[in-house]
Structure 1
Amino acid sequence: MGKAGEIRVIALGLIRDGERIFVSEGYDPVKQETFYRALGGGVDFGETSHAALKREFQEEIQAELTNIKYLGCIESLFTFNGKQGHEIVQLYQCDFVDSKFYQLESLIFSESQHHKHKALWMDISRFKSGELRLVPEVFFEYL
């Protein structure tokens, strides 16, 4: 989350393996709702979104990416933890270099000292059926 009243630019990686995608699990304490989104993170000043994507995957789960292809831009307006958020999402399709990531059930990574996140493979059908929530919703257009 950026500062209040700030538009944040983030780069997310859509990693697909057949009928499943690799996502991180989030939780909104105010809505008491679990949601999922692709991995990635903020683009730093002076950094391209392509470079940010690679750096974020390296930092968060020590993963190298390959076959990185730009998919498009999503403008995301949302409320998280009771606060209004505004993100410009640069979305990329990519693959893991190391095949071990395709064998994983799940992994725990930390975005900061206080936040532990779980990343895991989820069947796309579970999002399409509405059983699980994928954010931003526009993501479906790319699946």
Structure 2
Amino acid sequence: MVPRANALGLLRKDDQILLEEQKGVHSKGIGYFYRPIGGTIELGERSYETLIREYKEELDVEIAIKRYIHCLENIYEINGRIGHEITQIYEVEFKDELLYKKDTFQVVEGSRITQAKWISLGDIESLILYPNGLQELIKQIM
């Protein structure tokens, strides 16, 4: 395996952040875990372009990039296999202000359907949040 480059967009509403809720095997065990919306950077694609594409593909919404935040490098192990991600983190916003009134969003990625929901910034400490290091970064910047 080789490192995977991806991009994630932090989308904030007051004291909440939009996170996708997933359930399954992860580097800390089995169960629920959370991550911002985003995905793998395609060859020839800028990381901010990845976010615009991923939000459109997964949530069917349009976003604007507010600012670049940070790069996180995440090396982890799941079921004895090493994974390595290099993640570009951005702050993003909805282009349509009415979307901030929605409580949840259906996240469609191929045949997999999950849900994204607003999580209080105060509650993220008790969640399993990926990539590793994101909780600390959010505490510093939000």
Q: Name the TM-score class by shorter chain.
A: 0.7 to 0.9
Query: Normalized against structure 2, the TM-score is what?
Result: 0.87
Correspondence list, 1:45-64, <5 A: 45-64=43-62
Task: Kindly provide the amino acid, as one letter, of the partner of residue 133 in structure 2.
Answer: V
1:1-24 CA-partner distances (Å, limit 9, x unpaired): xxxx12111010011112100010
Instruction: Give SS of 1:53's match.
Output: helix
Instruction: Give SS of 1:57's match.
Output: helix
Correspondence list, 1:51-90, <5 A: 51-80=49-78, 83-90=81-88
| Long gaps (5+) in structure 2 | none
Give the match for residue 126 of structure 1: 123
Query: Normalized against structure 1, the TM-score is what?
Result: 0.86
The reply on whether 1:33 has 2:28 as its aligned counterpart is no
1:83 Cα deviation after fit: 3.5
Aligned-pair identity in percent equals: 31
Q: Report the count of equivalent residues.
A: 136
Give the match for residue 16 of structure 1: 12
TM-aligned CA distance change 1:118 to 1:83, over 3 Å: farther
Instruction: Give SS of 2:74's match.
Output: strand
For 2:133 and 2:84, the matched residues in 1 are separated by: 14
1:25-79 CA-partner distances (Å, limit 9, x unpaired): 1222372221101100110001110111111111111111124311111001123
1:90 Cα deviation after fit: 0.5
In angstroms, what is the RMSD of aligned CA positions?
1.7
The reply on whether 1:6 has 2:17 as its aligned counterpart is no
1:80 Cα deviation after fit: 4.0
| Long gaps (5+) in structure 1 | none
Higher fraction of strand: 2
